[in-house]
């Protein structure tokens, strides 16, 4: 493989969540479209309406498009903007998790099921109770428990939930953010119920500490969580990776358990072409890969992105070598 390659060229795709199911790589991305909505800091231009699933037998191999697996018109609670999804497998069923704005324009997270990793997926009639914000990543631990990691600030509305209730007001998308010298807002984590359809507990804060054991500050834009949560396990440690949003890095932090606290460790990926950066990390046939996206194929248009893959390397101490977002 060259250092990186675009995987899908016939439609625009973003936010790839990759998993190994039935011996193949399955990718669950957003399906970017040009809906003609002007760009703003709330991400209104990301007005996606459905999802496709892709698979490949080998990392260099052909990518198969399995077509539309879930459409906005089939989900009764959804108003608009179907954003970054993920999938999980348990006991013969595949679960597809997706964020979307409800009819009140509040982001919620829904779930749909299928007997095949290819879908199509049948949605639950309601969003997951107590779900909010965006970018679900569902991680299955070795003991059989599953956890959802989620959240995203500005367009993802996390800052509007700081009191525990949704605050719809404010002239700017970021006006409920903490001050620069206050602890940064946290991603959220919740254990899933045995049937995978609900949260088994109220979502908790996923705290990221700096090298001195202090929570990262809201003003630390190069390191604090913004969106695009992902969890993987490597040599018994929990790796939480995420996007820093307005500084465009993919960073990671490590913990000894799925709830943390996590300690910041470094960058996985430097900025790509385009505003957003979003990823997943997965092991396949003994090697580790970063699935991500950029806007190169659309000439840099923020809302028209294309998914990619690149190999990642762990150093002997478990840290990850930083990849260049502009690599070819
Ligand atoms: O694709 C829409 C949003 O852009 C995602 O939910 C974010 O993570 C960012 O990639």
Structure confidence by residue, pLDDT tens digits, 121-164 = 999 999 999 999 999 999 999 999 999 999 999 899 999 999 88
- At 41, the pLDDT band (50, 70, 90 cuts) reads confident
Residue 90's φ and ψ, nearest 5 degrees, are -150, 130
At 168 the pLDDT is: 83
Ligand 1 atom index nearest CA of 15: 10
Ligand 1 centroid from CA 243, angstroms: 10
pLDDT over threshold 60, residue 1: no
Rounded distance between C-alpha atoms, residue 281 and residue 323, angstroms: 13
- At 2, the pLDDT band (50, 70, 90 cuts) reads low
At 171 the pLDDT is: 60
At 75 the pLDDT is: 98
Ligand 1 centroid from CA 15, angstroms: 6
Closest-CA residue, ligand 1 atom 2, reads: 83
pLDDT over threshold 70, residue 170: no
Terminal Cα distance for the chain, rounded: 11
- All structural domains of the chain, each given as residue ranges with its CATH number in brackets, are 4-312 (2.115.10.20)
Rounded distance between C-alpha atoms, residue 328 and residue 202, angstroms: 43
Ligand 1 atom index nearest CA of 155: 3
Ligand 1 centroid from CA 317, angstroms: 31
Mean pLDDT value of segment 211-228? 98
pLDDT over threshold 90, residue 267: yes
ω into 229 cis (within 30 of 0): no
Q: Which residues contact 326 (CB under 8 A, 6 or more apart)?
A: 270, 271, 272, 273
**Are 109 and 152 spatial neighbours (Cβ–Cβ below 8 Å)?**
no
Instruction: Say whether 222 is catalytic.
Output: no
Share of residues in the chain with pLDDT > 90 (%): 93
Instruction: Say whether 205 is catalytic.
Output: no
Mean pLDDT value of segment 9-27? 98
* Better-scored residue on pLDDT, 175 or 89: 89
**Are 167 and 158 spatial neighbours (Cβ–Cβ below 8 Å)?**
no
Mean pLDDT value of segment 254-259? 98
**Are 99 and 136 spatial neighbours (Cβ–Cβ below 8 Å)?**
yes
Kindly list the protein residues whose Cβ atom lies closer than 6 A to any atom of ligand 1. 14-15, 30, 43, 46, 83-84, 134-135, 152, 227-228, 276, 278
Mean pLDDT score across all residues of the chain: 96
Q: In 3D, which of 114, 160, 112, 113 has the Cα closest to residue 134?
A: 160
């Amino acid at each position: 493989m060259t250092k990186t390659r675009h995987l899908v060229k016939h439609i625009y795709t973003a936010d790839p969540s990759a998993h190994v199911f039935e011996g193949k790589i399955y990718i669950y991305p957003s399906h970017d479209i040009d809906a003609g909505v002007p760009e703003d800091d709330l991400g209104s231009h990301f007005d996606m309406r459905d999802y496709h699933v892709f698979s490949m037998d080998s990392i260099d191999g052909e990518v198969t498009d399995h077509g539309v697996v879930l459409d906005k018109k089939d989900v009764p609670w959804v108003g608009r903007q179907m954003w970054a999804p993920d999938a999980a497998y348990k006991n013969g069923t595949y679960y597809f998790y997706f964020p979307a704005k409800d009819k009140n324009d509040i982001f919620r997270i829904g779930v749909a099921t299928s007997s095949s990793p290819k879908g199509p997926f049948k949605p639950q009639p309601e969003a997951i109770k107590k779900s909010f914000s965006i970018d679900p990543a569902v991680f299955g631990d070795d003991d059989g428990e599953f956890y959802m990691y989620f959240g995203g600030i500005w367009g993802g509305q996390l800052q509007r939930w700081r009191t525990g209730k949704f605050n719809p007001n404010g002239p700017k998308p970021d006006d409920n953010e903490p001050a620069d010298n206050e602890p940064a807002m946290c991603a959220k984590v919740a254990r899933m119920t045995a049937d995978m359809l609900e949260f088994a507990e109220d979502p908790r804060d996923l705290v990221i500490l700096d090298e001195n054991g202090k929570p990262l500050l809201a003003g630390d834009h190069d390191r604090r969580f913004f969106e695009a949560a992902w969890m993987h396990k490597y040599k018994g440690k929990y790796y939480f990776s995420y996007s820093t949003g307005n500084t465009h890095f993919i960073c990671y932090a490590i913990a000894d358990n799925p709830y943390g606290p996590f300690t910041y460790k470094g960058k996985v990926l430097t900025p790509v072409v385009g505003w957003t950066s979003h990823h997943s990390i997965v092991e396949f046939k003994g090697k580790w890969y970063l699935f991500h996206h950029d806007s190169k194929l659309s000439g840099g248009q923020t809302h028209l992105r294309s998914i990619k893959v690149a190999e990642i390397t762990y150093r002997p101490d478990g840290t990850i070598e930083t990849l260049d977002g502009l690599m070819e």
